[in-house]
Structure 1
Amino acid sequence: MEIKDILEPSEYESLNQFTPDDIEWINGRINTRRNGEPGIECVVRGKNNDGDYFKLTPEEIVRQYYAYKLITEYGYDKEQLSLEEPVLIAGKTIDTDKRIDIAVFDSEHKKIQMIIEVKRPRITNYHKNWEGEGSTPYQQMYSYCSQKKSQLGVLVNGVSTPEFYDFPYFENQLIIDRFPQNGEDIQEWKDKRRFTLKQLMQSDRLKTETLKDIILSVEQKFGANDSSEKAFEEIKRD
């Protein structure tokens, strides 16, 4: 069993962030679960509480890749990464249906520095509802980051360069192509970023989106924490 057997053919072919060595590494960790389904030994957690392998899904393939890269390329310890971090409601109760895909803690493990929302490769539009989910990938990321006061929010799918958003509004995408190194000052990391002409063109949203599209994406931000359907109603009717 290999990841090409889990992903759709078009997804496997579009894994632009994966090198052949990355694919080989993940394939080497694939095993069979007790129920006969494909599973994987997690780079952070090993096996689950029952001693079985974790279920291998398209999203898990992408999550394992980024957890692996954070450890091997960016210097984070396994103890700094929390997969399936619980989400608290009003600081009291745990919503078992909502878990943070990857939470990256600071070196002292006192606060969350990054929250990474992981999607399967075919989910390429982070501002769209997919597969019956109640919110968009961006809204999910924004909601978790706002609650946890994370310094960075990240959206990944294994295909596109990760999208970074920063505290406190998590609204404007940071045009940068790498994660901060463990211990690197976030402001310095942002200041060091270099722009290519292509990135500058991509960051000019009016070249690829209408003003209405941009305003509606702002509405999504508010919708992450507000169930009201009245916001921006005049624009929607245009």
Structure 2
Amino acid sequence: MESLNLPPFGHKVKELNGKPHIYDIIRRKYIMLTPEEWVRQHFVHLLINQYSFPKSLFAIETGLFYNKLAKRSDIMVLNTDGQPHLLVECKSPDVKISSATFAQIARYNFTLRPAYLAITNGMSHFCFEIRNGQIAYLDDFPVFERK
């Protein structure tokens, strides 16, 4: 896998059924290593190691419904009250972040209503805060604060 614009971490990769798999510390199992999964695992470790998000508040690829269609969020971090706090949409490094990507996370926002939204392809990253119905671009990701 290629180097990303994210800090490296001590990942565990092994071959299962002839294909590489990476250990997911949240789901506690090996997941097929795709370019998007590579980005997701880097981002999970970034949030835990540099922004103090507790592993216990993560949900990976959880289901949600939008206009009666089943969708999945890549990374959801809850707050200590169990409510959506940070929703992250991950893309493969070869996928350009476009207006379609922003529209996708905005659709998820209608259902989940987190305080923060983030988008990454491992090379470019964007984070937004949602406050009183307004979306503001942030220069960095929020540090987790316990209540």
TM-score by length of 1: 0.56
Task: Tell me, yes or no, if the aligned pair for 1:86 and 1:94 is still in contact at 8 Å.
Answer: no
How far is 1:159 from its partner? 0.7
List, as ranges, runs of 4+ consecutive aligned residues in structure 1 with deviation greater than 3 Å: none
Q: 1:175 & 1:150 partners in 2: Cα distance? A: 15
Unaligned runs of 5+ residues in structure 2 are none
In the alignment, structure 1 residue 179 sits paired with structure 2 residue 144? no
Separation in structure 2 between the aligned mates of residue 101 and residue 169 of structure 1, nearest angstrom: 23
Higher helix share: 1
The residue number in structure 2 matching 1:191 is none
- Which of the two has higher C-alpha Rg? 1
Partner of 1:71: 48
Shift of 1:89: 4.4
Which AA in structure 2 matches 1:181? V
Aligned-residue sequence identity (percent) comes to 25
Which has the bigger relative contact order, CA under 8 A and spacing at least 6?
2
Q: Is the 8 A contact 2:128 2:138 kept in 1?
A: no
User: Is 1:100 equivalent to 2:73 in the alignment?
Assistant: yes
Equivalent residues, number: 145
Change (3 A) 1:74 1:125: closer
Q: 1:140 and 1:85 mapped to 2: Cα distance?
A: 15
Matched, 1:54 2:31: yes
TM-score, normalised by the number of residues in structure 2:
0.87
Q: CA deviation at 1:79?
A: 1.2
Aligned to 1:73, the other structure's residue is in SS state: helix
* Matching residue of 2:115: 151
Query: Where do 5+ consecutive residues of structure 1 fail to align?
Result: 4-11, 48-52, 128-135, 186-238
**CA deviation after TM superposition for structure 1 residue 18, in Å:** 2.9
